[in-house]
Structure 1
Amino acid sequence: MNVQTSASPVATPLDGGGLTDASTLVRGISPVLAVPFTDAGDVDFEGFGRVVDHVLGTGVTSVMFPGFASEYYKLTEDERRELTGILLRRTAHREDLAAIVAVQDHTTRMAVTRAREVVAAGADLINLLAPHFLSPSRRSQIEHVTAVLAAVAPTPVVLQYAPNETGSSLDAATIADLVRAHPNLRLVKVESNPPGRLIGELAALDPPVTSLEGYAGVQLPDAWRRGAVGSQPGCSFTEIYVEIWRRLTSGDEAGGEDLHRRLLPYISYWMLDTELIIAAEKQISFRRGLIDSAHCRRPAHVLDAEELRRIEVFLQEFADLLPDLSRRD
């Protein structure tokens, strides 16, 4: 899919001439795609294609790549470019799917260049992470975000707010100013801990700012009640998140709460450390047969015997929602 935000009805060279607002597809569960490696540590490009195909087949309407769950900070530029191409070739002709491509570059010049390149390549939305290396000032963060928003307009942008991982902070009032100045800032991925208050503050703004919850869905029911339109977890057990969201939004709030309550002991432990949940999700994908190796590029968390045992317990508990994927054509 290659589309244009409804903020402007006129096609631009960046948007391919479409008239659909891709940001409206970023609803429900929007998984962040993992990158499988071989046991030797090389990128498994064919395996990544299988990951994409599987996740797109779970009923989601958008996916994001690359994020922390993708180990983006361990990829070379050539690897990242090729992986992005694998994703975009699968979404280019799908009007029911939106591909969100992330821009995490620290320098504004590089971020603007990357954002323009991925939009030209077919990205439907940009996921923008503000700079955080060596604690840049709030003014520097705002200038960076503003430059990227202007560079890709009218392509819609998701602003990722992850203070625990980055140490950066942009409050609701600042985000509101950015939205008023740049209508293509369409969503905010809120990963503060807890996220609910900021989600509620953004929803109460004029104009309201639409939010996604991140952080592995640890606070998913609360975020939904406060106005979040979706969640962006990892992709190794997308089916569970999809079912939680289906229940919450179809009138079965108690059922959604119950399923989330069963999931919470696992994800709350894994999210104690970013590398821990990456390793756990890789192991889950490997055990399900989705990928051929659970390898994480170093530095990485090495799962101990008890952590591996708990993953087996997890897979047994949710076996009804997580089919064996090892039998591939």
Structure 2
Amino acid sequence: MAELNWKGVYPAVLTPFKENGEIDFDMFAKNTEAQIKAGVHGIIIAGSLGDAAVLDTDEKFELLTFARQLIAGRIPVILNIAENTTKNAVNFAIKAKELGADGLMLLPPMRYRADDREVVTYFKAVAHATDLPILIYNNPVDYSVFVSTDMFDELKDCPTIVAVKESTRDLTNITRMKNKFGDRFHILGGVDTISLESLVVGADGWVFGLVDAFPNETVAMYNHAVNGDYEKALEIYRWFMPLLELDIHPKLIQYIKLAATAEGISTPYLRAPRLPLVGEEAERINQVIADGIASRPQLN
């Protein structure tokens, strides 16, 4: 198993499809190799950006098995858990360990909007069922559940809960977490458009979206920032921003697949109910992507 230290750049990898809707494993491999070559620190499979909502359980485990064989320990492989019931989430975590996952990302229960007590109990049940390290996904914008510092206070004694994907879009929440828990939880910024700022206030790294299309620029920006060269990091960040804004839209999968397709490391194909872009929206997004590619900065 690869060492997982929850620092650095972790792509929420796309799941490319063929035109007939089947998973395109060859393109998945091509994108994954591009990520590894760029220097990412791990990958997250079957997350929100990875089409978790339209993958069945067998497909998620098939992706995990394929990724493990492809990567062969070069970087950690983290599998996302997005289940409706506690029983299913526990069984999913157990199976993920059997198939060789290095870690887990854990969302609150899907569909049912659980209250704080129910969410904490759900997280604890999964945490107690596995010895894999767990990244809690805190995204109230998309999933209507805010994992508060009081809730993390109840989770801090679970040794397998070690990190949080901070997607509240409130940078001050990183400071609250640091003030209350110190280094108890690793924090990964989960919103591309405030990624650089998140490092400044204490994040250990990122779970990133546009890295799926632009791995070299993403890793270079991170490395410049952690090495204290914010002038170079800002140069990349300012160029990147129109592209990063593709990550904060309900159609982020369509948008980022188009960007990665333009770079030759994805396909544009979708599973319904998502549909391809048309008309003005398609023209606008493709222009943002083309402008970004045409003006990309020199990396050094």
1:101-140 residue pairs with structure 2 within 5 A?
A: 101-140=79-118
Cα deviation, residue 257, structure 1: 2.1
2:64 to 78, 81, 84: 84
For 1:315, give the aligned amino acid: I
Q: 2:168 aligns with which of 165, 186, 192?
A: 192
Q: Is the 8 A contact 1:132 1:168 kept in 2?
A: no
Q: How does 1:192-271 map to 2 (within 5 A)?
A: 192-194=168-170, 196-208=171-183, 209-215=185-191, 217-234=192-209, 235-268=212-245, 270-271=246-247
Q: Percent identity?
A: 21
C-alpha contact (below 8 Å) 2:239/2:292 kept by paired residues: no
Q: Deviations over 1:254-310 (max 9, x none)?
A: 221232122112322x234232x211211122122223x311212225332122122
Match among 71, 74, 98 for residue 54 of structure 2: 74
Structure 2 portions without partners, runs of 5+: none
* AA matched with 2:45: F
In 1: Cα distance, 2:256 partner to 2:298 partner? 18
Moved over 3 A (4+): 91-94
Q: Under a length normalisation based on structure 2, what TM-score does the superposition of the two structures give?
A: 0.91
Please tell me the root mean square deviation across aligned C-alpha atoms, in Å.
1.7
CA-CA distance at 1:55 after TM superposition: 1.3
Q: Tell me if structure 2 keeps the 8 A contact 1:29–1:245.
A: yes
C-alpha separation in 2, matches of 1:100 and 1:81: 12
Counterparts of 1:100 and 1:266, CA distance in 2: 25
User: Is the 1:132–1:167 contact (alpha carbons within 8 Å) kept by the matching residues of 2?
Assistant: no
Distance 1:36 1:320 in 2: 28
Q: Which stretch shows the higher mean deviation, 299-308 or 44-53? A: 299-308
The Cα shift of 1:190 comes to 0.5
Contact 2:247 2:256 in 1 (8 A): no
| Other-structure match for 1:158 | 135
CA distance in 2 between counterparts of 1:148 and 1:272 reads 29
The answer as to 2:254 corresponding to 1:274 is no
What are structure 1's unaligned runs of at least 5 residues? Answer: 3-21, 322-329
Q: What is the CA–CA distance in structure 1 between the aligned matches of 2:26 and 2:276, rounded to whole Å?
A: 25
CA distance in structure 1 between the partners assigned to 2:256 and 2:107 by the alignment: 22
Count of residues in correspondence between the two structures:
292
Q: Is the 8 A contact 2:103 2:134 kept in 1?
A: yes
